[in-house]
Amino acid sequence: SASSANNNSYYIPPNTMTKLTINAVSFDTHNGANTANSSYSVPYTGIYRINTTARCISYIGTNFYSYCTIQYFDIQLRVNGNAYEDQFVFGTYPYFYNPFLFGTSSSTLIKLNAGDSISLYAYMTPYNGYLNANSGIQQAGISGHLVN
């Protein structure tokens, strides 16, 4: 079992699938978490329950209401660098409180082999082709445990 996260905000480039930084480990019963490359190596072959979450933030100016720059947000669970599951969020209204926060999470059962590496990626598409330098990932996390 393991749980790791990043609670620091950071920018990711628009329209680019980007590996999310995981820099803190809450617990890790088998020392599989690797904060240097933001991944987790599973210790045993079996079925795992993997939980992912990510929240993005959009800033524009200092007004109470602002134009939300993020139109589309996707978090992707990857196994050995290959896409396994995507969770999508679409922006629906052009104006939100500033800053605007939204995110997504997932929980999935997946068969993994000993030594498989899991990681979390994100992709954001802006409405206007530009993401403010203060926009990006506010939180990201991944946790899991062997089920069977």
CA 133 to mean position of chain CA atoms:
18
Say what percent of the chain tops pLDDT 90: 24
Question: Looking at residues 129-138, what average pLDDT do you find?
Answer: 59
Say yes or no to pLDDT of 38 above 70. yes
| Residue 89 to residue 137: CA distance in whole angstroms | 14
pLDDT greater than 60 at residue 78: yes
Q: What is the dihedral of CA 40, 42, 46, 51, to 10 degrees?
A: -20
pLDDT at 6 over 80: no
Residue positions counted in the chain:
148
Q: How many CB atoms lie within 10 A of CB 9?
A: 16
What is the pLDDT confidence band of residue 145, given thresholds at 50, 70 and 90? very high
Of residues 20 and 113, the one with the higher pLDDT is 113
CB 65 within 8 A of CB 96: yes
The predicted structure's pLDDT at residue 109: 93
- Determine contact, residues 71/91, Cβ cutoff 8 Å: yes
* 95-128 as b/e: b if 16+ CB within 10 A: ebebbbebbbeeeeebebeeebbbbbbbbbbbee
The answer, yes or no, to whether residue 65 has pLDDT greater than 50, is: no
Answer with the residue of higher pLDDT: 42 or 61. Answer: 42
